Amino acid sequence: MKLGIPKETLAGEKRVASIPEVVAKLVAQGFEIYVERGAGEASDYHDGDYEAAGATLVDRAAAFGADVVLKVRRPTLDEVALMAEGAFYVGFIETCGEDEIVAAMHARGARILAMERIPRISRAQSMDALSSQSNIAGYRAVLEAAVHYGRFVPLMMTAAGSSKPARLVVLGVGVAGLQAIATARRLGADVSAYDVRPETREQIESLGAKPIDLDLGESGAGEGGYAKELSEAAKARQQELLADELAKAHIIVSTALIPCRPAPELITESVVERMREGSVIIDLAAANGGNCKLSEADKVVVKHHVKLVGHTNYPSMVAADASAFYARNIMNLLNTMFESSDAGPVLKDLAKDEITEHAELKPEEE
């Protein structure tokens, strides 16, 4: 069974789908690994390390021509054309509906295992790439905030005077939000956090932050641990009640997302106008329209004397560890997909395991 690891080509993407340490383990399990030359260079994993781990260095066509193609980001149409008939694709597919990339892959008979569709159940935690990458995003987002904020984040006391800790608010307490809280607390910020799901209150307090409690008249708790979309009335009340808390913040790290929906607007322009000059908004939802509509995807802009940071790929900023986490996620999924035999790895019936059955994107789901 041949596994292909091509180089990621999306602008700004530095991650790679597997690393030498994991490649060595897959080779020991009987997989043949084909790595495109230079695939890991941007994340500091070098061709010689892959060769030493037992991989074969190949060109782009050979990596995409493997039985199973391992990727981080969705392929292009040109890349799909390089895939073998009936091959497997394992990676993020980043789609919520009809999609020409998915249609092209299915037209070639490819089977798609979408990493974002891994169910959030205990047995699948080691394969949950959304969580592993969101964890990194929450950490890196706070570091980005500290860099752009023109003042100290912690309490600082010196012979020349002292400064109070920055007031930092985290919006959305999922995996990224929880890591953002933990990182901001380690940096010494005065941290508050808000989420529409009432069950997150205990998690916020456990990390030493203060929960922001709002009475919206309805719960935002959805299925699978995700938030659900609020009614229009609740959204309006949420904006109104949050406004005073946000206007007092020096740094806002906003992570609120609803799967396959535009990002909810939590930070209005009037709130930005009221924030102290030099404050910073880190909008992790910028790619989906932003929790602040003044944010611009993949840009850092200044509006009303407030800096809005709209980076859309924080895991790529920590590419070595992000790649390592992702590689282990994929290896654990492969161990669920295949069983060992004297002849090498043998594909299981994916429909008989709820993890692979849920992760596979079938043609009728396009």
Answer whether 0.85 is exceeded by the pTM.
Answer: yes
> 197 vs 13, 215, 341, CA distance in Å?
32, 11, 46
Q: Where are the domains of the chain?
A: 2-128+319-359, 149-313
Tens-digit pLDDT string for the chain (366 aa): 999 999 999 999 999 999 999 999 999 999 999 999 999 999 999 999 999 999 999 999 999 999 999 999 999 999 999 999 999 999 999 987 778 999 999 999 999 999 999 999 999 999 999 999 999 999 999 999 999 999 999 999 988 989 999 999 999 999 999 999 999 999 999 999 999 888 899 999 999 999 998 877 776 555 555 566 778 888 788 888 899 999 999 999 999 988 778 898 999 999 999 999 999 999 999 999 999 999 999 999 999 999 999 999 999 999 999 999 999 999 999 999 999 988 889 999 999 999 999 999 988 755
DSSP codes of every residue in 286-341: GGGT-SBTT--TT-EEEETTEEEE--S-SGGGGHHHHHHHHHHHHHHHHHHHEE--
Q: Is 353 a catalytic residue?
A: no
How many Å apart are CA 322 and CA 15, to the nearest integer?
7
Which of the residues 117, 151, 226, 237 is marked catalytic? 226
DSSP codes of every residue in 205-239: HHTTPEE-----SS--B-GGG-B-PPPHHHHHHHH
Which of the residues 108, 120, 151, 185 is marked catalytic? 120
Superfamily of domain 2-128+319-359: NAD(P)-binding Rossmann-like Domain (3.40.50.720)
CATH code of domain 149-313: 3.40.50.720
Q: Is 120 a catalytic residue?
A: yes
Q: Is 226 a catalytic residue?
A: yes
Which of the residues 18, 131, 254, 316 is marked catalytic? 131
Do the domains at 2-128+319-359 and 149-313 have one common CATH topology? Answer: yes
Burial group, residue 216, by CB count within 10 angstroms (0-12, 13-18, 19+): middle
Q: Is 206 a catalytic residue?
A: no
Q: Is 15 a catalytic residue?
A: no
Which of the residues 50, 128, 139, 149 is marked catalytic? 128
